[in-house]
Homo-oligomer: A and B are copies of this chain.
Amino acid sequence: MSILFWQQPYDESFRMVADIPTTRDKILQAAAEITKEVGPVNLSLDAVAKRAGLSKGGLLYTFPTKAKLLEGLVEQHVSEFDQSLRREEASRNFGPNSVVLAVIAVYRAEFVCNEPEPSGILAAIANDPGFLEPIRRYNKQLLQRMRENAADPMLAMMVFLTIEGLRSLKLFEMNVLDRAEQIAAIDRLKNLFEPADPAPVETPAVA
């Protein structure tokens, strides 16, 4: 029911990073796409199977129940962010303000690369508010870490809120700000911690 990070049927750790997507990945992406297009309510297993290019039986082989699929959506969302975050923290040697700066860096990269928001979590939440719990826990912990590691905890909180604002705008595809404005906002945040930014890259090439 609410068991997040459940055991996967097989070990994926041997797979290459930028390899061809697994069936699992294809299903998750299909679910996110459908959610974005027709809304979480209309996310049916039939539709996901069709979009992912497999049969319903095949889908239910990978995800035995719809709840497991939704769990997969949430798990992917959280773990992908966390991995990026830890990487950024490590590159800053876990020094002062490293958590805040890492958070900023992760979102900056996301906005620069114009990565689509995996709106699948909306589907999960819409089906069962209980899926919010792990996200709640994660965010609580994240904010805690940001504050403890920051020179100015209050400022860290403001950064958290601003980022959260950007994130929610993206989640709802609320294109109120264009990409440049979003990046400018993030850089403004960054400058609160690193006042001297010698060469702010305005429009870096998209890899």
Contacts and interface: CB of A to CB of B under 8 A. Distances in A.
A164 B157 contact: no
A91 interface: no
A140 B39 contact: no
Interface string A26-39: 00000000001111
B165 A39 contact: no
A166 to B, nearest CB: 6
Contact of A136 (B126, B135, B176, B181): B176
A45 interface: no
The secondary-structure label for the interface of chain A is helix
A127 B39 contact: yes
A58 to B, nearest CB: 24
Given A136-B174, A175-B136, A177-B157, A39 B128 contact: yes
A132 B174 contact: yes
A125 B172 CA distance: 9
Nearest to A164: B165
Interface of A: 36-42, 122, 125-129, 132, 135-136, 139-140, 143, 154, 157-158, 160-169, 171-177, 181, 184-185, 188
Would you list the 4 A-B pairs with minimal beta carbon distance, nearest first? A164-B165, A168-B168, A161-B165, A165-B165
